[in-house]
Amino acid sequence: MKILLVGNGGREHALAYKMAQNPIVEKIYCSKGNGGTYFENKCENIDIDNIDDLVNFAQTNNIELTVVGPEKELCEGIVDKFKEKGLRIFGPSKEAAQLEGSKAFSKDFMKKYGVKTAEYSKFYNLKEALNYVENCVLPVVIKADGLAAGKGVVIAEKREEAIKAVKDFMEDKILGNAGDGLVIEEFLEGVEASILSITDGEVIIPFISAKDHKAINDGNKGPNTGGMGTIAPNPYCNEEVLKDFTQHIMIPTLNGIKKEKLDYIGIIFFGIMITKKGIYLLEYNVRMGDPETQVVLPLMESDLVELINSAIDKNLKNTKVLFKNQHACCVIASSKGYPIKYENGFEITGVNKVKAKTFFAGAEEKNGKLLTSGGRVLGVTTIGKTLEEARNKAYDSINKVHFDGIYYRKDIGK
């Protein structure tokens, strides 16, 4: 089987690594991949930057399955275009991908189907949005409607911050069209969890829970990043939490998908907040999380390619997804200055001394060497019988990796 994998992050390296374990898989073309997929078993990087050319590539190279990592292509309708040509692809349609691509769409969906979420209002007019934040309860959460690569949410504790956020998005257009509409919502206090799951539109099967660490500094201080580390399972996701999640979030979501007749075969990722008043849904993502994937997949015992095929064949009701009864920890190493400003091009060494799986993100191959090429450079994932064992192994490993300006949090999973 030949697979096409779209994306170039640590998530995609982890997807490639896991899919390569299936004996039927002969080759995985990664567009455009990174330094990690360059060296990965069965993988070959190709550089195609638009959907039509990807369709073309799949047709001319007898690709039997296409897997899409990032939300961007899903929201642009890559799945619809592949299906029009009769190509087998795993992911939600363009319409269904709005569950991530538009905050207004997803909040309206949650409300319509009784998915427990924060109270909210929608705005498409600057004056009305300003008028609202001048009088609302603080803190308040201001979200740009469109895709914003993690930069579209502001938690305003002070009135001036709320006003500035509204102006930044709607007047100064710092996120372009993504800020044409706003969702302004109630602030929820609690702990977050990531629950990735797979759906064939008929059932949703949740994966093992995970916990992301979004802030750049220890103690969750400093600006938010794409994620500086993850653990799985999430220690806060006990049985009671999972029951509440199933009843108030997952089941109503599935009902909504069915009632709206959304063509949704793919990953659905629930970003939840565990509060004193129960479990709330913060957001849907229509793809795997990064770096959640880097801890969830190494714990998955089931074969990922078989699982994806079973979803595409609408056979998940007869499928079990098994996870190791263990703990995983992923510590991300980033470039000095990330997420604000950083330099690239430094050689990465010591990875061969690491007794852990290293998943690369912002790293590229040049003349047989690996050089830094992004903010989040790599992550090491380790597994242990306890969280502590997994953590200790992860830190022992990352200590052996070097590049100029290497930075990582010291408290992942603490």
Which residues are near ligand AMP by CB under 6 A? Answer: 118, 141, 143, 153, 155, 185-188, 192, 271, 282-283
Over the Cα atoms of the chain, what is R_g?
A: 21
Q: Which is nearer to ligand AMP, 170 or 188 (CB)?
A: 188
Number of other residues whose CB lies within 10 A of the CB of residue 176: 11
* Alpha helix (H) residue ranges in 139-234: 159-170
Residue closer to ligand AMP by CB (options 284, 359) is 284
Residue 293 or residue 372: which is nearer to ligand GLY going by CB?
293
DSSP SS3 for 241: helix
Main-chain phi, psi angles of 190, to 5 degrees: 170, -160
Q: Which does 215 bind (CB under 5 to 8 A by kind): ligand AMP, ligand GLY, none?
A: none
**Binding segment (CB under 6 A) for ligand GLY, from list 248-256, 260-268, 282-290, 389-397:** 282-290
Using rule CB under 6 A, residue 285 touches ligand GLY: yes
Stretch that binds ligand GLY, among 61-69, 116-124, 289-297, 373-381 (CB under 6 A): 289-297
Q: Is the CB of 185 or the CB of 290 nearer to ligand GLY?
A: 290
When asked if residue 289 is in the footprint of ligand GLY (CB under 6 A), the reply is: yes
Please tell me whether residue 214 adopts helix, strand or coil conformation.
coil
Smallest gap from residue 194 Cβ to ligand AMP (A): 9
The least distance separating ligand AMP from the CB of residue 292, rounded to whole angstroms, comes to: 12
Residue choice 40, 185, 290, 365 for contact with ligand GLY (CB under 6 A): 290
Show the DSSP H helices in 148-229 as ranges.
Answer: 159-170
Residue 124 near which of ligand AMP, ligand GLY, none (CB within 5-8 Å, type-dependent): none
Q: Which does 285 bind (CB under 5 to 8 A by kind): ligand GLY, ligand AMP, none?
A: ligand GLY
Cis peptide before 206 (omega within 30 of 0): no
For 220, which DSSP code?
Answer: G
Which parts of 157-216 interact with ligand GLY (CB under 6 A)? 212
**Cβ 295 to ligand GLY shortest distance, Å:** 11
Q: Whose Cβ is closer to ligand GLY: residue 227's or residue 379's?
A: 227
Is residue 303 within 8 Å of 311, Cβ to Cβ?
Answer: no
CA distances to 8, 33, 285, 404 from 368, rounded to whole Å, are: 18, 16, 35, 18
Show the site string, 209-228: x = touches ligand GLY by CB under 6 A, - = not: ---x--------------x-
User: Counting Cβ atoms within 10 Å, is residue 134 exposed (0-12), middle (13-18) or buried (19+)?
Assistant: exposed
* C-alpha separations of 295 from 11, 291, 388 in Å: 10, 7, 15
Stretches 179-187, 196-204, 285-293, 356-364: which one binds ligand GLY (CB under 6 A)? 285-293
CA pair distance 363, 325, nearest whole angstrom: 32
- The residue sitting closest to ligand GLY, measured at its beta carbon, is 289
Sequence-ordered list of residues with C-beta below 8 angstroms from that of 284, at least 6 positions apart, any chain = 99, 100, 106, 253, 268, 269, 270, 271
Helical (H) or strand (E) element with 117: none
Nearest residue to the partner ligand AMP, using Cβ = 283
Task: Please say which residue, 110 or 141, places its beta carbon nearer to ligand AMP.
Answer: 141
| Structure tokens belonging to residue 55 | 């369709």
Could you say which of ligand AMP, ligand GLY, none residue 188 binds, taking C-beta under 5 to 8 angstroms by partner kind?
ligand AMP
3-state per-residue secondary structure call for 305-351: HHHHHHHHCCCHHHCCCCECCCEEEEEEEECCCCCCCCCCCCECECH
Residue 155 interacts, among ligand AMP, ligand GLY, none and using kind-specific CB cut-offs from 5 to 8 Å, with ligand AMP
What's the min distance (Å) between Cβ of 379 and ligand GLY? 11
Q: Which C-beta is closer to ligand AMP: that of 146 or that of 252? A: 146
Shortest reach from residue 320's CB to ligand GLY, in Å: 25
Q: Which residues bind ligand GLY (CB under 6 A)?
A: 212, 227, 285, 289-290, 292
